[in-house]
Amino acid sequence: MEEIAALERALRRAAPHTLPEVVRAALAERYGAGQVTLRMADYGMRSLQDVEAPAWVAEPVPVHGSPQGRAFGSQEPYVVGDPETGPVVVHLPVTIRGDRLGVLSVELPRHTDVRSALPELEQVCEALGHEILVAERDTDVYVLARRASRLTLAAEMQWQLLPGRSCTRPEFSIGAQLEPAYAVFGDNYDWSVSSDHLTLTVANGMGEGIDAALLTNLAVNALRNARRAGLDLAGQATLADQAVYAQYRGRAHVSVLLLRFTLSTGEVEAVDAGSPRLWRLRDRTVEACPFDAQLPLGMFEDTVYTPEHFTVVPGDRLLFASDGVYDAVSGSGESYGERALPRALTATRLLPPTQVPSAVLRALSEHHGEPPLDDDALVVCLDWYGRGRPDGAGAAG
C-alpha cells in the first residue's frame, strides 16, 4: 500500500506526458519488470495504440484477436506465459468509472508470484487512469494515441463534446459508440449522474460536416446549461429549443431524446423531440418503446414540451439508436430497425453493455453492405441493475 501511495504521488508530480515512464520505473523497482507498455483504445474501438510510439513506428494491436484486446474486452487481467519457465506478460485494463481507456502490458521476470502481484498491478492501473484523465487537459499525447487515422474537424468537435464512451455505477452501466468514428457529423450523446438521478440524452443534428457539428454543440451545451441551472426535463428541452431557434430561426433543428432516471426506483421521465429511438430487452423479448413524437429543438419558436413516464426494472437492457442505424437499408431494401436490430440486440444479450454498441454496429455494416453508410450511426446501450445490487454486474437477458 505504501508503494501505491508513493506511485500516486509520483504520478501527480510528473509532467503530463511522462506518466508511462513513471509507472515503468516504479514497476521495475518493485517487481524487476522489463518492458511496460501503455496502449490506448482508438475512437473506433478497433485497435490499441502505443502511447509512446506513433502509429508509423509501432503497429497498432487489434482489439479483436490479441492478448491485449482480450484484457480490454473482458476487463480482466490476462496473463501470457508461465512464470515457472520464463518471463510472463500481464495485460491489464486501464478503466476509470467504467470508461475503458486502454491496456497496460507489464513484463514480469521468471518466478514472479503473479497471482499475488495482480491486486497491486490493478491499483497501479487505476492510479494511472485517473492521472491520464487529468493530464489530458495539458497534453495531446494520450488523445493522439486514440487515433488510428486523422479526424475530420467535425469529428474532432464531436468527440471533444462527449462525456466518455462508457460509464458504470452500482445502479446501471452504459456503453456508447459513434460511426464512422473519424468523420462523424451531428450525432451525439451525453450523460450526467447525481446521487439521485441519471440524465441521458441522445441527439441528432441535421446537416453535415462543420454545420452539423456546430449545431449539435449549441444544442448539447444549451441542454447542459439548463440541467446545471436546475431545470426539469421539459425545461431543459425548452431552453435548448429557444437557443437553437434564436441562432437559426428555424433553418436548422436538432432531434433529441431526453431521459431522466430516478436511481432509487427506476422511474424514467422522457421527452421525445425528434428521431433517436429506444428498444428494450426484457426477459429475452425485444420491443420498441414508442413515445409521443414532439417537435425537434429549434424548429419553431416557443415550443412546449410534455414529458412522458415509464419504469425500468433490474435486468432491463435499453438500446438507443440514431436514424443512421435504424433507417439503414439492406440490398433488398429492408431497414435495419425492422428486424435486424432486434435480432442483433437478442444475439448480444450476454455481452456487457460496453461491447454491445460495437457489436450492433458490426451487424449493421453486414446488413447494409456496400457502399459504406452515408449517415452517422450512434448506438447507446444501458443495462439497469437498480438499487440493492452492490456488484453492479451482469448483462440483461
Q: Which residue has the higher pLDDT, 104 or 183?
A: 104
- Residues 351-361: what's their mean pLDDT? 94
Do β-strands 377-384 and 36-41 pair in parallel, antiparallel, or remain unpaired? unpaired
Per-residue pLDDT tens digits for 146-194: 998 899 999 999 999 999 999 999 999 999 999 988 888 889 999 999 9
Q: Which residue has the higher pLDDT, 276 or 314?
A: 314
How far, CA to CA in Å, does 361 sit from each of 161, 180, 372?
21, 10, 12
- Residues 94-113: what's their mean pLDDT? 95
Q: Judge contact between 224 and 243, C-beta under 8 A.
A: no
- Whether the bond between 290 and the residue before it is cis, its omega within 30 degrees of 0, is no
DSSP per-residue letters across 340-354: HHHHHHHHTTTS-TT
% pLDDT > 70, the chain: 95
Q: Judge contact between 317 and 255, C-beta under 8 A.
A: no
Average pLDDT of the chain, as a whole number: 92
Per-residue pLDDT tens digits for 61-82: 999 999 999 999 999 999 999 9
Grid cell in block for residue 29: 523497482
Closest CA to 17 of 136, 123, 105: 136
Q: Judge contact between 306 and 234, C-beta under 8 A.
A: yes
Q: Does residue 307 register a pLDDT over 90?
A: yes
Q: Does residue 390 register a pLDDT over 50?
A: no
The enclosing H or E element of 378 equals strand 377-384
* Backbone phi, psi, residue 360, to 5°: -65, -40
Q: Does residue 288 register a pLDDT over 50?
A: yes
- Residues 99-111: what's their mean pLDDT? 96
Nearest-angstrom CA–CA distance, 160 and 186 = 13
Q: Does residue 224 register a pLDDT over 90?
A: yes
Nearest-angstrom CA–CA distance, 270 and 262 = 12
**pLDDT for the residue 373:** 64
Closest CA to 285 of 390, 359, 396: 396
**pLDDT for the residue 374:** 64
Closest CA to 254 of 175, 189, 341, 326: 189
- Residues 300-327: what's their mean pLDDT? 94
| Strand segments (E) across 226-276 | 254-262, 267-273
Do β-strands 88-96 and 99-108 pair in parallel, antiparallel, or remain unpaired? antiparallel
Residue 302 carries which side chain, given as an amino acid letter?
D
**pLDDT for the residue 370:** 66
**pLDDT for the residue 394:** 42
**pLDDT for the residue 392:** 43
Report residue 324's pLDDT band, with 50, 70 and 90 as the boundaries: confident
Report residue 396's pLDDT band, with 50, 70 and 90 as the boundaries: very low
% pLDDT > 90, the chain: 80
Report residue 8's pLDDT band, with 50, 70 and 90 as the boundaries: very high
Report residue 218's pLDDT band, with 50, 70 and 90 as the boundaries: very high
Grid cell in block for residue 262: 430516478
Nearest-angstrom CA–CA distance, 83 and 285 = 46
Per-residue pLDDT tens digits for 21-58: 999 999 999 999 999 999 999 999 999 999 998 666 67
